[in-house]
């Protein structure tokens, strides 16, 4: 079933909501208008006329290159959108000004004769708000070239006071932590990493803290690298990560700002941002420093800064989640069958409401996740071998490795994220091809990890789930294969 949808203002919505009759809506279905919310139906008949402007508009992406002088064909991309629903002081300009500050700094370096080793590509997207159009069109038009050349895409969108909010490809978790351990929080003088660590630990103590918060607190307390989150959608990183399989980061600050209620409205103004966003304009500078240093590290490092154990350990957590999901789905189904058989639903229901018992759910077959665990086991081994080999080579300053070997190694690493794409994409939406991260089918911007399997289980499509266990395992094998080749390059040359 497809139901037409149109967003309207609360002033326009009020007469519709007020005309509804029937039972009073439960509290979590009620909004804040000064009426009693009912769930309907009602006697009112409505004639709704929608006037839409379907004229075509030209959109403008701004794309600027600063050519690398050693590996010009390896591109490090940076983007933020520049279009807004109305004034857009928060969304997108708070992120856009940081991007401009970085570009200005790189420009100043270039004027002094500096050149990055790899090429920096600064992009400012149009038409993000109506559906990521500017970035998607550009990414699709240059798909082949991007898959051959892009090493990393770094996105921001809005920004404000608070903590570093980092998400993206987990092989870049080490890089994010390295940068975060060197940049100062502008209001406390602690490093960004120290502040975030304290916050994650404290948040994990909240009484109703969810599983993920508790896990993050546990990782933070261990004292090592802080976890970065997985990316769903909602900004311009989507075509790069989910369609082209380019390693991606989203970096922003927030959490101590107050943007509640003004998002995507005419109240997202300069005045509001000045009062509630980043009153001293210091987190804009911090974002520019954070992303600027991230790009510099990737542009200048001898070997691209990926650490694969972080990725493997993250997949391990996602796999544990999948096991839990399978178990819970099975338990729930068995419980329902028991209550249906015993007649409990019928007996417990209010006879005056004439409610039917729920429809019987199909039995959950055994979903064998072994192929995935096997692939993951091998991946973990390969990842730690690579990370150790890289560490050894780094300590020798790569002195034992020939320049051509390093170039070949970087070539292997450049497209490694693309091995996580499935040619057929995800069921019912083949444009989304990444088998580790995707926005959920029904969760808006929110991410689903190992989405081919997870969403199939949630939709009780058992055959599809089994099929995607195989496909996802094959992707992990291809990723591991690439890592093994990279390791042997590091070791071969080190042995010579
Ligand atoms: Zn935005």
pLDDT at 209: 86
Strands 118-125 and 62-66: antiparallel
Report CA(441)–ligand 1 centroid distance (Å). 21
Instruction: Give residue 85 CA to ligand 1 midpoint distance, Å.
Output: 9
90 Cα: distance to centroid of ligand 1 (angstroms):
8
Label the pairing between strands 118-125 and 150-155: unpaired
Measured in Å, residue 254 CA sits from the centre of ligand 1 at 14
Supply the pLDDT for residue 334.
96
Round to whole Å and give the CA distance between 207 and 171: 32
Query: In angstroms, what is the span from residue 239 Cα to ligand 1's centroid?
Result: 15
Q: What's the pLDDT score for residue 408?
A: 95
176 CA → ligand 1 middle, Å: 22
* Cα gap 73→121, rounded to integer Å: 11
- Ligand 1 centroid – CA 129 distance (Å): 7
Query: Ligand 1 centroid to 491 CA: how many Å?
Result: 45
Ligand 1 centre from 273 Cα, in Å?
14
Q: What's the 88 CA to ligand 1 centre distance in angstroms? A: 8
Q: At 370, give phi and psi (nearest 5°).
A: -55, -45
Measured in angstroms, how far is the CA atom of residue 159 from the centroid of ligand 1? 10
C-alpha 289 – ligand 1 centre gap (Å)? 20
Calculate how far, in angstroms, residue 124's C-alpha sits from the geometric centre of ligand 1.
Answer: 12
What is the distance in A from the centroid of ligand 1 to the CA of 198?
28
Euclidean distance between CA atoms 449 and 315, whole angstroms: 9
From the centroid of its chain, how far is CA 227?
13
Q: How many angstroms separate the alpha carbon of residue 86 from the centre of ligand 1?
A: 11
Q: Which residues surround ligand 1, an ion (CB under 5 A)?
A: 91-92, 157
pLDDT average per 10 residues of sequence, the chain (496 residues): 84 94 94 94 91 93 97 98 97 98 98 97 97 98 98 97 98 98 96 98 91 93 96 96 98 91 92 95 98 98 96 97 95 96 94 90 94 98 97 90 92 97 94 97 90 96 96 98 96 62
Centre of ligand 1 from the C-alpha of residue 295, in Å? 21
- Residue 364 CB partners (closer than 8 Å, separation 6+): 326, 329, 330, 333, 460, 462
Q: How far is the CA of 432 from the centre of ligand 1 (A)?
A: 21
């Amino acid at each position: 079933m497809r139901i037409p949808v149109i967003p309207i203002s609360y002033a326009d919505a009020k007469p519709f909501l007020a005309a509804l009759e029937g039972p009073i809506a439960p509290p979590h279905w009620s909004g804040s208008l000064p009426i009693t919310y009912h769930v309907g139906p009602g006697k009112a008949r409505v004639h709704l006329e929608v006037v839409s402007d379907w004229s075509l508009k030209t959109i403008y992406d701004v794309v600027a290159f600063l050519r690398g002088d050693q590996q010009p064909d390896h591109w490090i991309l940076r983007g933020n959108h520049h279009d807004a629903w109305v004034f857009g002081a928060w969304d997108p300009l708070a992120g856009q000004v940081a991007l401009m500050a970085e570009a200005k700094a790189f420009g100043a370096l270039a004027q002094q004769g500096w050149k990055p080793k790899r090429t920096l590509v600064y992009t400012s997207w149009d038409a993000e708000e109506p559906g990521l159009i500017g970035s998607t069109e550009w990414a699709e038009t240059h798909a082949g070239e991007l898959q051959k050349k892009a090493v990393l895409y770094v996105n921001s969108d809005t920004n404000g006071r608070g903590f570093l909010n980092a998400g993206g490809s987990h092989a870049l978790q080490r890089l994010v932590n390295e940068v975060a351990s060197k940049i100062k929080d502008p209001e406390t003088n602690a490093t960004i990493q120290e502040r975030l660590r304290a916050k994650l630990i404290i948040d994990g103590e909240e009484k109703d803290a969810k599983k993920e918060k508790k896990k993050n607190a546990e990782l933070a307390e261990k004292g090592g690298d802080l976890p970065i989150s997985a990316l769903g959608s909602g900004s311009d990183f989507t075509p790069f990560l989910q369609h082209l399989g380019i390693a991606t980061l989203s970096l922003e600050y927030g959490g101590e700002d107050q943007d509640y209620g003004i998002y995507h409205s005419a109240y997202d103004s300069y005045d509001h941002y000045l009062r509630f966003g980043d009153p001293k304009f210091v987190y804009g500078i911090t974002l520019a420093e954070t992303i600027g240093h991230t790009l510099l590290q990737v542009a200048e490092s001898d070997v691209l800064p990926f650490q694969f154990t972080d990725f493997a350990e993250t997949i391990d957590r996602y796999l544990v989640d999948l096991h839990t999901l399978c178990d819970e789905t099975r338990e729930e189904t068995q419980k329902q069958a028991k209550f249906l058989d015993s007649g409990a639903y019928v007996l417990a229901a209010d006879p005056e409401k004439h409610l039917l018992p729920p429809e019987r759910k199909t039995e959950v077959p055994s979903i064998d996740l072994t192929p995935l665990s096997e692939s993951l086991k091998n991946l973990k081994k390969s990842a730690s071998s690579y990370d150790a080999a890289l560490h050894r080579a780094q300590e020798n300053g790569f002195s034992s490795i020939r320049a051509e070997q390093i170039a070949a190694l970087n070539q292997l690493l450049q497209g490694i994220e693309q091995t996580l794409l499935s040619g057929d994409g995800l069921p019912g939406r083949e444009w989304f091809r990444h088998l580790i991260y995707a926005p959920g089918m029904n969760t808006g911007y929110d991410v689903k990890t190992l989405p081919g399997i997870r969403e199939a289980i949630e939709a009780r499509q058992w055959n599809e789930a089994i099929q995607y266990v195989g496909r996802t395992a094959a992707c992990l094998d291809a990723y591991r294969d690439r890592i093994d080749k990279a390791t042997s390059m590091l070791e071969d040359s080190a042995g010579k």
